[in-house]
Structures are given as C-alpha cells and as structure tokens.
Structure 1
C-alpha cells in the first residue's frame, strides 16, 4: 500500500514543481531568442530532461503497482514491469549525475552553474526538488523495491545514446542562439569543452555501473545480466 502512495506522491510533487516553474518563474536568459522558445526554454537544461525522466519513471512505477508486479523475480514479467526496470536503470544514474555535478560545481563556483540573479528568484524548495530530491527519491526506490537490470551492453547503449543526444542538443542550442545553457561552458575553450563532455560521458557510464552494483547488493535475489548475454540469479548467502 505504501509503494503506490510513495510513487504517486513523487509524481504529484514533480507535476506541481513544473507547473509552478511555468506559471510563476521567469528566468532571465542572456539571449532574447530563449524568450521565444516554448516551455519557457526549460528543455535546454539537463535538469529538466532528468526531471521528466524521473517523473515518467515514477508514473510507470505507479502503473506497475496497480497492473504489474513488484516481485523480485516474477515467473512472467509484465510489460509494464520490464519498462519500469529499464527506466530505473536510466533514471538512477542520470539523477545522481545531475545532483553530483550541480552541487559539485555549485560548491566550487556557483556562478558557473546557478548565477546569483537566478538564485534570487528561484525558490529553495524548487531547487532541491530538481537537484536534490531527484536522487533521494530514487535511493529510496532502490532500497524499497526490487528490479532486474538490463544487460550491461543494453544499459550502456541506452545511457550513451541519452548522453550523446543531450551533448548534440546543447550544441544545436549554441548554434542557434550563440549561448550555452550553462555559464561553465562559456569559460571553456573548444578543447576543454571536448574534455568536459568526454569526462561527463565517462562519469555517466561509471555511475550506471555503480547503480547496477548497488542493485545487486540491495536486491540479492534479482537477475543479474552480464556483457556476454548470460544471466544469473544471485542469492544472498
């Protein structure tokens, strides 16, 4: 009973956060082009990509609570459960990456990631909802539910496509507007931007593996996949 309440509560909070952002916040952008973009140009930020992914995950989780199963290793896995498991393998590393990178850069020089002019108008609760709670909720989910990760090859492919898609996207935005979504990219020369994007890709894939390993620890009866395509059901000794 608690799981559906938890999942639905996260969805409700996220929807409220997005609605509040769209109705009450006007973030000053360095280029007027952003003002003409739909969704108040929020989709240029990885935070929003992550937030939408998390909201989708918890929505599917709620549907799985109602129509699927939360058994560790069901004999017949419903489609909704399979979708849920794959979405978690993406949502967890993306959320952890967003939280670590945002607060890490914020601690070093917040002007590079969250300038003072934005922080003054951005509610603290909304900031934490988008940059902190995204990881907190998924850690709770990791501990409270069971899941079967996809194969390492499948997971790495999905993560790589997600990262590459966003890297291409920010370059498209820069090409059209002459402005990067994040101030930190303005202070990096082309070589350092390439290094930054490469490091971010490696970090994202590394966090994916961390999520996979954590899952094998907290869900010792789940099916674990390997890169050679084999699968083994691990049991707690």
Structure 2
C-alpha cells in the first residue's frame, strides 16, 4: 500500500476503501449519464445539448476526478493521485455550489429550473444534484491531503469558472434562442451578471467551508483558521 499524506485521515491511493469509494462514485455518475442520454427532451437536439446545464458540466468534472482517483488507487500512482487532488479543487466546490443553488431555487419555485413538462423523479434528481457533492466531500475529508488554496485564489478561480459558463450560456442562447434554465430568461443582463457574481462568491465560500470542515474532521486547527481568515485577507494567527 502506498504511503498517504500524514494529515490525511485514511489511506489513499489504496486498493481498499479508497478504490471502493471512487468506483462507487464513477458508477453513480455513469448511471446519471446513462439516464441523461435516454431522456428525450428538446434540449437533446439543441446546440450545446445537455452541456448547456451547469449540472452536467459539474457532473463531467466529477466523473473525471473520480475516474482519475480510481486509476490512482488501482495503480497506486502518486502522480495520478496528485492529479485527482488538483481536479478536486475545482470539482468539489463546484458540485457544492450546484447543490446549494439547485435545491435553494427548487424550494422557491422549481419552474425556474425546468419547464413544467420537463421534471425529474427523485432518484435521478438526487443523482444529478446531490450525489456528486456528497461523494466529492467524503473523498476530500477522508481520502485527500489538505487543500493549500487560499481565499483570493479560490475567488479568482470561482470567477473564471462562473463567467466562462455565462459566456457559454449566452453563446448557446445566440444559437438556440432560449436559455437552458428558465430563470436566465426572466432576468435582465445586469441581473444575470449579479447572479453569476453571486454564484462565484458562493463557490468561494464552499471552498472555504470545505477547507474548514477538513480541519474540523481531521483535527487541524491551522486549516480552520485559514478558512475563516483568508476570505477577508487576514493572516491566520498560527502563522
């Protein structure tokens, strides 16, 4: 078995629990994609297809992250393990953001997310909008070394991802004449800009929350302090 990071709770890469978790995640994500490609909706034939949805982009990144993780476990490769951890810095906060936004808006009015004639049953809905965040959070908290990313780099990464997605959505709108999420069509341009800026802030917050939770679960006070201090530009006391 490969040696794991001294601050990491469980062994990974490993052909035991780590491999089982990553294979379970891959199976879950593939099941969601299988459902997606058998789900006949007008979106399927449009420009950009289902990849107009942030949910599907996030699911693709989660699948890539866990596939690399499973390969690292099977081969005990430190390089693949490092790549999995790099991908996780993007995919885990993104999936937490997707879950927060989706279920938050869903609780207010689900027609803002889907037209009335296009609805999901609970199981595929959970697979798309909750399972990826749960799998990635468990992987981070128990099977990964601590993240070293700080508040402002996390914010910059979140802004790049958020506004890149906005550009992609607007390009798809120019080809299709409609937005993937009905809420985008209700909002004006500046309101959509505020929504994406808010989303970037939430994703940054999710990065710091995951980092704080890592410190809490693994008993590392330094990472709890960094997660709280970094977003406002304060140096942690432990430094």
**Scaled by the length of structure 2, what TM-score is found?**
0.78
Q: Distance in 2 between matches of 1:186 and 1:36?
A: 17
Q: What's the counterpart of residue 117 of structure 1?
A: 117
Contact 1:28 1:118 in 2 (8 A): no
1:86–1:139: structure 2 CA closer, same or farther, 3 Å change rule? same
Contact 2:158 2:201 in 1 (8 A): no
Contact 1:106 1:114 in 2 (8 A): no
Match among 61, 65, 77 for residue 69 of structure 2: 61
State the Cα distance separating 1:58 from its structure 2 match: 1.0
Q: Distance in 2 between matches of 1:175 and 1:157?
A: 27
Match among 17, 23, 26 for residue 32 of structure 2: 17
Q: What is the 5 A alignment of 1:173-188?
A: 173-188=172-187
Tell me which moved more, 92-101 or 191-200: 191-200
1:223–1:216: structure 2 CA closer, same or farther, 3 Å change rule? same
Q: What's the counterpart of residue 3 of structure 2?
A: none
Matched, 1:106 2:121: no
Contact 2:47 2:176 in 1 (8 A): no
Q: Distance in 1 between matches of 2:147 and 2:115?
A: 38
State the Cα distance separating 1:9 from its structure 2 match: 1.7
1:184–1:214: structure 2 CA closer, same or farther, 3 Å change rule? same
Q: What's the counterpart of residue 42 of structure 1?
A: 50
Query: What are structure 1's unaligned runs of at least 5 residues?
Result: 70-77
1:222–1:165: structure 2 CA closer, same or farther, 3 Å change rule? farther
Q: Distance in 2 between matches of 1:198 and 1:112?
A: 19
Q: What's the counterpart of residue 164 of structure 1?
A: 163
Kindly tell me the number of residue pairs found equivalent between the two proteins: 212
Structure 1 segments, 4+ long, off by >6 Å, are: none
Contact 1:159 1:204 in 2 (8 A): yes
Query: What are structure 2's unaligned runs of at least 5 residues?
Result: 1-15, 231-235
Match among 14, 18, 21 for residue 6 of structure 1: 21
Please give the per-residue CA displacement for 1:196-226, whole angstroms capped at 9, x wherever unaligned: 1221121122212222222222234699689
What RMSD in Å do the two structures reach over aligned CA positions? 2.6
Q: What's the counterpart of residue 73 of structure 1?
A: none
Q: What's the counterpart of residue 137 of structure 1?
A: 135
